[in-house]
Amino acid sequence: MKHQSTRAVFDYWNKKRGLRPAPARAEINPTDIRAALGDTFMLAADYSDQLRLRLAGTRVCALFGREIKGELFSELFGAAGRQSIEELVGVVTREATGIVAGLAGETEDGAKIDLELLVLPLAHIGHARLRAIGVLVPTLPPYWLGAKPVTMLKLMTLRHTGADPDISIVPRITAAPAGSRVRHGFVVYSGGREMPSSKQSG
């Protein structure tokens, strides 16, 4: 984890969960992470179980030049990567597996920005909607930040934590190429052995 906000939120979340896979939302006190709040967001499931931004810090919103509260998290990403990010964040919330990812952001005129994404699960019971806490922050803010909004995110690298509280961030870095799918923490590639359409006669 490169940014101090990412490290601060992870350390706080890790302390709060203790020996459990994840802490409950009620255990997260925003004042305890006040220095990182501007870079922090929370994800909640809507009535179709899609994950929306329930809360988004001021610096997160400033990246996109608008208030993003209520938007689908996956729609911050380019169309080609939305299914992968939906499945990846679904693994976080279902299997109590946190992720740290490197993202590439792009503005409408093609300016680039490197960002760090942290998504950590929150324990929930029954139909509770809040599912995850996260951080989205530039690794090195460009001079134009705040003047030009980011219009698209792309997933570049991925590391994850296990559900075991004794496991910290494990540097398992993998690309998430277009056309791949995330299933239970694994990247699944389309393809495989082709089956013959008909039997060959001798």
Buried b / exposed e along 78-116 (16+ C-beta atoms within 10 A): beebbbbbbbbbbbbbeebbbbbbbbbbebeeebebebb
**pLDDT over 90 (residue 117):** yes
E strand or H helix at 8? helix 4-17
What pLDDT sits at residue 52? 95
> What is the dihedral sign for C-alpha 134, 138, 140, 145?
negative
> What percent of the chain lies above the pLDDT cut of 70?
78
Pick the CATH number of 4-183 from 3.90.10.10, 1.20.120.160, 3.30.450.20, 1.10.760.10: 3.30.450.20
Give yes or no for a contact between 39 and 58, defined as CB atoms under 8 angstroms apart: no
Band the pLDDT of 20: cuts 50, 70, 90. Answer: very high
Give 27-70 pLDDT, tens digit per residue: 999 999 999 999 999 999 988 888 999 999 999 999 999 999 99
40-75 in b/e form (b: 16+ CB < 10 A) is bbbbbbeeeeebbbbbbbebbbebbeeebeeebbbb
Closest CA to 38 of 25, 22, 57: 57
Tokens of 169: 């961030």
Residue 160's pLDDT band (boundaries 50, 70, 90)? Answer: confident
User: What residue segments make up the domains of the chain, in order of their start?
Assistant: 4-183
Residue 80 has phi, psi (to 5 degrees) of -70, -25
